[in-house]
Amino acid sequence: MVSPTVVKIAELNDKFRRCDSSVPGMRFLTAGIIELLKRSNVDGDEIIKIVSEFNVFTEGNDPHGEHDFGTFEYLGETCFWKIDAYDNDYSMGSDDPTDLSRTKRILTVMLADEW
């Protein structure tokens, strides 16, 4: 059975991934993703949509049930996204990722080979 804390973390991660402004944090595309977009002459809107709509969580890609990682194919490349929860100044991990007053998230979208 999944704990209430894990359920809350997954809910907050889902909201953040869907660009809900009630969950504070920053979002980044890595240099590899930016280069892929430039090379293919597309903007990042489609990648943001793919990440926002991701819902294929399995024991293999989400063993802790926190909805903090996903993988997808885009323009012939395997890509990952990852959410990490930090304290308010981003200096270390959050001691309580369920508390929005003490936690900020970072979502990073990267090529698999940048992992």
Contact residues for 63 (Cβ-Cβ < 8 A; gap 6+) = none
Residue count of the chain: 115
Bridge partners (DSSP) of residue 74 are 77
Q: How far apart are CA 114 and CA 26, in angstroms?
A: 19
Domain extents in the chain: 4-114
Whole-number pLDDT of residue 2 = 86
The 3-state secondary structure of 13-41, one letter per residue: HHHHHCCCCCCCEEEEECHHHHHHHHHHC
For the chain, 115 residues long, the average pLDDT of each consecutive 10-residue run is 94 98 98 98 95 96 96 97 98 98 99 97
Cα–Cα distances in angstroms (integers) from residue 94 to residues 14, 42, 55, 91, in the given order? 17, 35, 24, 9
Neighbours of 69 (CB within 10 A): 17
Which pLDDT does position 1 carry in this prediction? 75
